[in-house]
Amino acid sequence: MKKKLSIICSAITIFALFCGCQQKENTNGSNVKIYYAAIESGDYYEGWASQLQEQAASYGSAFETGYAENSVEAQNSQIKSAVADGYDVLLCGLVSPDTVTAVKAAAGGTPIVFINNAPDSSQLEKDRYIYVASDEFMAGQYQAEYILEQFRDRDEINVAILKGPKGASGTIGRTNGLKQTLKASGKKINYVFEDYAGWSSDTARELTSLFLKTGKPVDCVAANNDDMALGGLAAFEEAGADIDSVLFLGVDASAAGCQAIIDKKMDFTVYQPMSAQISAAVEAAEILASGQSISNIEGASEDGKYILIPFEKVDSQNVTQYQ
């Protein structure tokens, strides 16, 4: 009887040890809780949320999204609630780069992977507060290079710019990249029109319609994204203006933007590798949650503050690759 009891006890002990080992193995898989503080709802950011969640699921991580609807107060409140609910790491699209100090305070030391809208570099910190994106300056640089190539025999170029929201990192970086590269060419660059269209096709169409009434000559319309480029194009068509002699340039290589290039209406865009950004953002979140360094992630900067995924040029020669 004692021998039988001993065998039973041994079996129970082995089973308990096995369960313990299994539990530890699952924990090492990932018990990370990720919270995405999105700027607003709508197709664009909800698309980000869906892909981020899918990527997080591949790690076995919990994932939740909050939409701030462009409210700084709502975003800070959502972040505080997420931290109180035990989320280990935050993905954050800042409503405004100016609120980053308040966002970090709301996070209470929880690591943050910023996406969608960049804070100032001084607000980032190695392996704690990082930014994942593509180099926005490069997108504008690529637009300028295309313009300069197409007008290589011209000494003077008339440029219209449709910009994203005022203060947004994409707006600033893409516009600066465009202007600085054009300036470096030594050509005379006339900015005949420039305004904020807030990423909106409708707003871009309205603003461009007003510009066309001035009768000023224009050689190219450079927009910070494809939707605004298409809005500008629509205004030209509605006004019966000649679109064949004007270049239309965007950023994102959206489905509509690529189709417009195929239809020979839009001329150029810049592919923003959103899927690669999403993969890198979630990978970084997993790493930061475990207290490790992002240094081994492809595209990580030496200072440990950034993960940058290169943009890619898209025109009529390669557009079918991006459909």
* CATH architecture, domain defined by 31-134+273-309: 3-Layer(aba) Sandwich (3.40)
- Hey, which CATH number is domain 136-272, 3.30.70.3170, 3.40.109.10, 3.40.50.300, 3.40.50.2300? 3.40.50.2300
Whether 276 and 132 have beta carbons less than 8 Å apart is answered as: no
- The yes-or-no verdict on residue 62 having pLDDT over 80 is yes
Dihedral sign of CA atoms 202, 208, 212, 218 in order: negative
> What are the CB-based long-range contacts (under 8 Å, 24+) for 297-303?
303/126
pLDDT, one tens digit per residue, over 199-252 is 999 999 999 999 999 999 999 999 999 999 999 999 999 999 999 999 999 999
Matching fold, domains 31-134+273-309 and 136-272:
yes
Domain ranges of the chain: 1-29, 31-134+273-309, 136-272
C-alpha distance from residue 175 to each of 50, 109, 248 (Å): 29, 33, 15
Q: How confident is the model at residue 101 (pLDDT cuts 50, 70, 90)?
A: very high
- Read off the pTM: 0.79
Q: Is the pLDDT of residue 76 over 80?
A: yes
